Chain A
Amino acid sequence: MRLSFSEDDERFRREVADWLRANLCGEFEQIRFRGGPGDEHMFSGERKRWEQRMAEGGWTCIGWPREYGGRGASIEQQVIFHEEYARAGGPGRVGHIGEGLAGPTIIAFGTEEQKARLLPGIRNGTELWCQGYSEPGAGSDLANVKTRARLENGRWLLNGQKVWTSLAHESQWCFVIARTDPESVAHAGLGFFLVRMDQPGVTVRPIEQITGTSEFNEVFFDDAVCDAGDMLGKPGDGWKIGMALLGFERGVSTLGQQMLFQNELDEVIRIAQANGRGKDPVIRQRIADAWIGLRIMRYNAMRMLSGQQDGSLSREATAYKLYWAVWHRNLGKLAMDVLGPEAEVIAEAPYELTRLQSLFLFTRSDTIYGGTNQIQRNIIAERALGMPKEPRPARA
């Protein structure tokens, strides 16, 4: 167990930093430190161009194997990359669902043909992805999805509704869990579909969020077409693949997020220093607590990642989502309390929020999406501690 990086890794760090310095400037200067949580709707055009600039430099998907366009970067190198990216003020990544979720899932479960066809778009930053899991009747109880897929003339036709689909309005592709066997219930009879968004059978309607902005959407499928070759795995594999994807969500992709958290915390500390609230003994305690919590989050992640190079989940990894979600939510509240009465004043009418106001509001969703805190606690208790599963009434 040691904390220092090898010389090779330090060389890699300089390479990343140099590239960012040379590229994250000029037309991209304005998006530095932008597009984070609560700010995702900003500069989407510039951030898409930035994604492609990153791809040209070979800095997207660095953790993917080389054969699929990645760098096969080690965990250490990925940590370094995320650290330098955050230090340089790299903007929120519009391609993260493709790079962190869809890509690894396609690599793990796709055919060679699917990999060759679908991965380059992600790798090159030209095709963005969204996640079509939740439905009006299937939130925490994801296995209750009702969207149906039927095979007709060698193509799947999808019918149903998804909801809370983040970035659906920006995406070319959506991965969808839908029922291939209409008679099936719960985990059985599901398929995992890769669906093109620009087709007549797909309608995207934005949902206005607590922030007044629209990052997520309703997505309607009316005989939406999915070519047979765009199903991942076989009919019936949907649950297995869908859950494996959520495992990737808890993996390396969380490291980048932590670095954003550090920037946010630094900003809160700067404000506390400037406005004098940093002398308040209770605020001091809370800031120190946040600082401690973030440091520990980093070492939680390092332990989790050092343990398993294959992305599978270890026992302690089950607690990771709950840990960061609660930490981040507390930071949002701390930011408001450090600002005091000034926390109320928005940037501009009618409802343009400041970054920290967006943070405060947005972090209330951290404890909901990706499995609510309550669901996380169920998972920890059942999978890590071996306590009994929740009783389930027979389904209607």
Chain B
Amino acid sequence: MEFAFTEEQQMIRETAEQFLADHCDSAAVRRAMATEAGFEPELWHRIAGEMCWTAIHVPEAYGGLGLGYVEVVALMEQMGRRLLCAPYFSSICLGANALLLAAGEAQKERWLPAIADGSCRATLAWCDASGRWDATGVSATFVRDGEDYVLDGDYRYVVDGHTAGLLIVAARTPGSAGTAGIGLFALPADTAGVTRAWLPTMDQTRKLASLRLEQVRVPAAALLDAAATDAGAALANILALATVALAAEQAGGAQQILDIAVAYTRERQQFGRTIASFQAVKHKAADMMLKAEAARSAVYYAGCVATEALAGGVADAELAAAASLAKAYCSETYFFNAGTALQLHGGVGFTWEYDVHLYFKRARASESFLGDAAEHRERIAAGLGL
């Protein structure tokens, strides 16, 4: 047992921290978030080409670096600190993970190298407008028709769905329910019958889209075959991995907004002293730090479990519990810290000019995405046999 970053992990983390500080400042975030695509291709090329973040946990056989999920977690934490606007979460934490867990050999060979080098951006579409984040939220259907499958249905809240080149979609056989009857398919976004629309959101730093599939005909080879027998379970594991990554991003955001708030309170003077000297302010900051540190412990733990899960070393239930633990804690922490930071800023915290609102909105959006704290606690309660 070794619960500290290895030297190599530490290096990856520090390099990411430096890179993002240089290339992802407030101005860059604001430029990207104002566009419909939500990212600047220039920055994406550097992230993929120079930094190789898109390759980090993809096995070497498919053009990746073959590192673990702890490294992904370390990167996501740093991206969260800087509110990076880029399709990393969608392409790597949803898309690549879906292929890693559900695709057959030929499918991995076909798609993963392009995802690892950043030339292909993938995403995962599964849920409809019901607001259910697990397999029960899948309402699109697929039927076999000769050598093909025909897909129909609607998806909502698809991260970067309007810009991704590869769509991995979950659908179900007509009449099936729950985790039964699920199938996962990989199809190029320009497949006939696919309509995509940007879904403008309050948090502008992560772009969502809705998708409509109408009589979309795909070859049999589009069905991700490694998980074909139990795609419901594969979907749950894919979402658990994405949840761990999202929680890491939340932990990073929670830390950064604490740092921003403390820095501000040490500058701002009222009553002849800095507001940081008021105990009411100090104690709020202390609570924020306690939560930020605990959030970090939670995501590092979950990252370790995810690494073992990808290597086939832990039971599905353990991965699910680790993901729920991290998501429940980090969701509340990020929102608490962002809300508290806003309060500690006073009036300027309510302006467009200061960055606080960017964190506050990202915190709100991430809180509900992939299930809020209450939902994840309920999953844990069920897992405890209650």
Listed in ascending order, the chain A residues whose CB lies under 8 Å from chain B are 1-6, 9, 76, 79, 269, 272-273, 278-279, 281, 284-285, 287-289, 291-293, 295-297, 299-300, 302-303, 305-307, 316, 319, 322-323, 374, 376-378, 380-382, 384-388, 390-391
Contacts and interface: CB of A to CB of B under 8 A. Distances in A.
21 contacts: A3-B305, A6-B1, A272-B386, A278-B386, A285-B374, A285-B381, A288-B378, A292-B298, A292-B325, A295-B301, A299-B298, A299-B300, A303-B4, A305-B3, A306-B2, A322-B286, A377-B287, A381-B283, A384-B289, A387-B285, A388-B277
Interface string B58-73: 0000000000001000
B381 A385 contact: no
Contacts of B103: none
Contacts of A374: 283
Given A5-B1, A295-B325, A296-B329, 12 more contacts: A1-B9, A1-B300, A3-B304, A269-B384, A278-B381, A287-B381, A288-B384, A319-B286, A319-B289, A377-B287, A380-B285, A390-B279
B90 interface: no
A269 B279 CA distance: 38
Chain B CB within 10 Å — which of A272, A284, A385 has the most? A385
A288 B383 CA distance: 9
Given A285-B377, A287-B384, A323 B70 contact: no
Contacts of B279: 378, 390
Interface string B245-276: 00000000000000000100110000001101
B177 interface: no
A211 B194 CA distance: 68
A244 B262 CA distance: 28
Contacts of A384: 289
B19 interface: no
A142 B53 CA distance: 51
Given A1-B2, A292-B329, A381-B283, A303 B384 contact: no
Contacts of B376: 288
A2 B1 contact: yes
Given A1-B9, A299-B300, A377 B377 contact: no
Contacts of B296: 303, 316
A303 B262 contact: no
B197 interface: no
A368 to B, nearest CB: 16
Contact of A302 (B3, B286, B324): B3
B294 interface: yes
Contacts of A306: 2-4
A381 B282 contact: yes
Given A291-B384, A385-B289, A285 B294 contact: no
B173 interface: no
B297 interface: yes
A149 to B, nearest CB: 34
A269 B307 CA distance: 30
B290 interface: yes
Contact of B285 (A287, A297, A300, A385): A385
A269 B308 CA distance: 28
A277 to B, nearest CB: 9
A307 B325 CA distance: 23
A308 B21 CA distance: 28
Contacts of B303: 1
Contacts of B328: 288-289, 292
Given A299-B3, A377-B287, A382 B282 contact: yes
A306 to B, nearest CB: 4
Contacts of B354: none
Interface of B: 1-6, 9, 70, 262, 265-266, 273-274, 276-277, 279, 281-283, 285-287, 289-290, 293-294, 296-298, 300-301, 303-305, 307-308, 324-325, 328-329, 374, 376-378, 380-381, 384-386
Contacts of A382: 282
A16 to B, nearest CB: 15
A278 to B, nearest CB: 4
Given A299-B301, A374-B283, A387 B3 contact: no
Contacts of A316: 293, 296
A300 B289 contact: no
Contacts of A287: 381, 384, 386
B245 to A, nearest CB: 16
A237 B146 CA distance: 86
Contacts of B293: 300, 316, 319
Contacts of A297: 294
Nearest to A5: B1
A374 B286 CA distance: 10
A377 B282 contact: yes
A303 B277 CA distance: 30
Nearest to A389: B277
A74 B167 CA distance: 49
A330 to B, nearest CB: 14
Contacts of B70: 1
A216 B30 CA distance: 59
Contacts of A289: 328, 377
B1 A3 contact: yes
A316 B265 CA distance: 21
Contacts of A386: 262, 266
Contact of B378 (A76, A285, A305, A380): A285
Given A3-B308, A269-B386, A273-B386, A381 B378 contact: no
B294 A300 contact: yes
A319 B329 contact: no
A284 B324 CA distance: 14
Contacts of B281: 387
Contacts of B262: 385-387
A76 B285 CA distance: 32
A9 B374 CA distance: 37
Contacts of A381: 282-283, 285-286
A374 B5 CA distance: 32
Contacts of A388: 266, 273-274, 276-277
Given A2-B1, A279-B386, A386-B262, A291 B380 contact: yes
B380 A288 contact: yes
